[in-house]
Amino acid sequence: MTSHAPSTAGLPTPQGVEGTFLHNEAGAAGPVVAPEEETGIRLLYYWHVILRHKWKILFITFLITVATALHLSTQIPMYQATAVLLIEQSKSKVVSIENVYSTDYSSQSYMQTQVELMKSRHLIEEVVRAERLDQVPEFNEQHQKKRANWTQHPWMPKWVQPYLPLLPEPPVAAQDAASEQNNALRFAALVNTVMSRITVAPVRNSQLVSLSFVSESPELAAKIATSIAQSHIDQMLEARLKMTQNAANWLMKRMDGLRHTLEESERKLQEYRSSADMLGSAEEENMDSQLLSTLNNQVMQARTRRSEAQVRYERFQALMEEYKNHPEDLPIRDNPMVDNLLKDAAKVSMQLTELASRYGEKHPQIIRVKTELSEIRLKIAKEAERTIAASKHDYMITVQQQNKAEQQLAEQKESLQEYRKRAFTLGNLERDVQANRQLYELFQKRFKEAGVSEGMEPENARIIDPAKPPQSSFTPNKRRSLSIAVAFGVLLGIGLAILLESMDRTVQSPEDLELSVGLPILATLPKLYASTRRPISPEGMMINQPNSPYAEAVRAVRTSIVLTIDNPPQIITVTSSIPQEGKTTVSINLARAFHLSGEKVLLIEADMRKPRMNKYFNLDLETEGNINSIGFALWSTLDEAARQKVNAAIALLFPEQGDRIIALASQFDRLELLQPFLPQSPQWHKLFTAAQKAG
């Protein structure tokens, strides 16, 4: 049962109480809760759920923990041993032979490559064979079959095992036949099992690698982990030694070919030198170059002499043509004889001039002088012709000398070109010989280095911390497993509790009611039980038993309503979610509580279907189903309205019902409405609207 002032909401009544009073401010259609308060309410709700179902949660946690403990007790403990290796990415060599075979130690992938090599199948197969793991009971197939027999488990008491049947074993002959056929398969399965128990991981920011192995025996785990690490180191050394041997063999084969190539190139060089008559290409080329330079100078000199002779000859020819009538006037000074004759001709000409001034033309002296002058001129002409012929002869000689020099120069150039061709071929042969000799010497040096380094390969990996037998088991981790089981049980229990709570729509406590409707509880009323010794009507508790707990609870409700801080309500509605929860009892006692405090109270019963106030107050109403409420009457006086009979369906059509409530509220200090919880009905809506206007 719920009391609103004036709005209401109904839920199933908590067991053990008569009713619960909730408070909501007038004019509010529902609870207004801030987001922070709503979060707090939800957390409080979950906390109450956990407290309510704590024994269920503890029981589920106990079951899961016990089941986990039983499962852990049947598990065989496994031990993990770890060995630590140092893998250096760079290692100084005894001799430098990286050019023959090299590994990129500076690469980031080198460490990962080493990790994968430690987990390689080939390495594990060698360890399995070396340690004879097929003979170890842990990895033996027949032993595992016996262990699979549930009667042989460690947790089975020894005094019980003799009385339990064992699993049948196959015949020995069949076992031998199957063993012979499946040796390879069993070995492969054994290798797979060992590989699955290996864990290799590089240590971050270091050159260390941790290698772990898991086994039922601590000693075996340490032994296998160390064996795998040592086998990896041995395998790396063998691989490097094999690489050195392969390099040496390859160098030897290559040297044989290089030696043959060098000898063949030297033979070709010697044969070409003999056939071309060339001892040294560089020396002979220098000699030919010097000779060519000398011939070139001679050609230049011959050309100069020829040019000078040609100029002299052409000048003499021009003078002879110019002075052919007066040869004595030739300006030839290069020939002393001509020069002397010219002087003689000049003297004779002067003598003739002197004689001509004294004698006549036919004078013997003049004739003699003229004859002498003619002879001199004839000599001059002949001598000039000889000079011209000599210059022509000199000119022709210089031309011949020039031609000869040019011919020698051309021949020398051709010879030099031919020599250079032969020198180029000779140079190629010499370079081939030199390259073959250098390559052969380099391979010979590398072959010696490979021979020296064989058997002296440094280790780039070594065991820093050998594996030691562990003191505690690796799996199962009982503490962690039990902790997880407890946590899982608690979470599962809480989840189931929340699920059950969400499926249960009943209210189990006042706190549930507050969380459900979001309204504070004003007070709770104790449940009244019928008593044959004290036949007191529940409606008269405030008068007949004013000191009873029930009366005190009603007065607490009155006090809570009156002391409402914001807006003390004038109109109070008493309702409940289901019939016969005590609405009439509470409303009558609450009205009397207000009346005893000196207030003028009007109690209105708005239950049109099953009214009960008429029975308590002995009102004479003939027919049930009529409206027995003053608030819904349409008559002018209250006395008249109390006795009238109006059909409920017709009363719902009267628009004056809300106005009547407002009018009545002005005449009384407190109005108390008693009606069922019908929030969807027009009657409830009219009452709620009227209460808002009046309150």
The string of pLDDT tens digits covering residues 295-326 is 788 888 888 888 887 787 777 777 767 766 66
Q: β-strand 208-215 against 461-465: which pairing, if any?
A: unpaired
pLDDT average, residue stretch 41-45: 73
Higher per-residue confidence, 39 vs 43: 43
Give yes or no for residue 118 having a pLDDT over 80. Answer: yes
**687 contacts 673 by C-beta, under 8 angstroms:** yes
Q: What is the pLDDT of residues 431-469, one digit of tens each?
A: 888 888 888 888 778 777 766 655 555 667 888 888 888
Beta strand 571-575 pairing with 670-674: parallel
Asked whether 459 and 233 are in contact (CB, 8 A), the reply is: yes
Predicted confidence band at 492 (pLDDT cuts at 50, 70, 90)? very high
Lowest mean pLDDT among 93-107, 261-275, 606-620: 93-107
Q: How many whole angstroms separate alpha carbon 632 and alpha carbon 81? A: 91
pLDDT in the model for residue 181: 62
| pLDDT, average across residues 624-635 | 37
Band of pLDDT at residue 688, cut at 50, 70 and 90: low
Q: At what angle do helices 336-356 and 364-453 cross, to 10 degrees?
A: 160
Instruction: State the Cα–Cα distance between residues 111 and 23, nearest whole angstrom.
Output: 74
For the segment 602-621, the average pLDDT, to the nearest whole number, is 72
pLDDT score, position 247: 77
Percent over 70 (pLDDT), the chain: 68
Distance between CA 187 and CA 179 in Å, rounded?
A: 11
**Alpha-carbon span 312 to 306, nearest angstrom:** 10
Give pLDDT, residue 34. 45
Top pLDDT among 112 and 336 is at: 112
pLDDT classification of 145: cutoffs 50, 70, 90 = low
Check pLDDT > 50 for residue 5.
Answer: no
Higher pLDDT, 334 or 129: 129
Model confidence band, residue 626 (pLDDT cutoffs 50, 70, 90) = very low
Q: Which residue has the higher pLDDT, 19 or 78?
A: 78
* Fold exhibited by the domain 2-31+519-694: Rossmann fold (3.40.50)
- At 99, is the pLDDT very low, low, confident or very high (cuts 50, 70, 90)? very low
From first CA to last CA, the distance across the chain in angstroms is: 22
In this structure, are residues 516 and 508 in contact, taking their beta carbons and an 8 Å threshold? no
Each residue's pLDDT tens digit, 196-239: 889 998 888 888 899 999 988 889 889 999 999 998 888 888 88
pLDDT at 78: 86
pLDDT at 180 > cutoff 80: no
| b/e burial code for range 491-528 (CB count within 10 A of at least 16 → b) | eebbeebeeebeeeeebeeebbbbbebbbebbbbbeee
Mean pLDDT, rounded, for 478-504: 90
Kindly write down the DSSP assignment for every residue of 555-607, as one continuous string.
HHHHHHHHT-SS---SEEEEE-SSSSSSHHHHHHHHHHHHHHTT--EEEEE--
Q: Please list the residues that pair with 526 across neighbouring strands.
A: 17
Question: How much of the chain, in percent, has pLDDT values that exceed 90?
Answer: 5
Q: What single-letter DSSP state applies at residue 13?
A: P
**Cα 229 from Cα 127, distance rounded (Å):** 10
Contacts 24+ apart (CB under 8 A), 555-559: 555/593, 556/522, 556/523, 557/3, 557/21, 557/522, 557/523, 557/525, 557/590, 557/593, 558/590, 558/593, 558/594, 558/597
The pLDDT of residue 41 is 57
Q: What is the pLDDT of residue 84?
A: 92
Residue 494 reports pLDDT greater than 90: yes
Q: How confident is the model at residue 39 (pLDDT cuts 50, 70, 90)?
A: low
pLDDT reported for residue 105:
47
Total count of residues recorded for the chain: 695
Which tokens belong to 370?
A: 């003229």
Highest mean pLDDT among 37-46, 194-203, 285-294, 456-465: 194-203
Residue 209 β-bridge partners: 85, 202
Q: Which of 439, 421, 431, 417 is nearest to 268 (CA)?
A: 431
What's the whole-model pTM score? 0.44
What pLDDT does 491 receive? 94
Q: How confident is the model at residue 160, as a pLDDT?
A: 52
Which tens digit of pLDDT belongs to each residue from 254-283? 878 888 888 888 888 787 777 776 655 556
**Residue-level pLDDT at 638:** 41
Q: What is the pLDDT confidence band of residue 55, given thresholds at 50, 70 and 90?
A: very high
Residue 503 has pLDDT above 80, yes or no: yes
Buried b (16+ CB within 10 A) or exposed e, 214-227: bbebbebbbbbbbb
pLDDT digits (tens, 9 = 90+) for 231-254: 888 888 888 878 877 777 787 788
Q: Label residue 94 by pLDDT band (50, 70, 90).
A: very low
Q: In this structure, which amino acid lies at residue 583?
A: K
For 567-582, write each residue's pLDDT tens digit. 777 888 888 877 778 8
Q: Average of pLDDT values for 360-371? A: 78
Q: Compute the distance between CA of residue 475 and CA of residue 79 in angstroms, rounded to an integer.
A: 7
195 pLDDT above the threshold of 80: yes
Residue 493 binned pLDDT confidence (cut-offs 50, 70, 90): very high
Taking all residues of the chain, what is their mean pLDDT, rounded to a whole number?
A: 73
Q: Are 341 and 383 in contact (CB under 8 A)?
A: yes
Torsion 660-664-666-671 (CA) sign: negative
Segment 631-636 mean pLDDT: 35
pLDDT of 60 higher than 90? yes
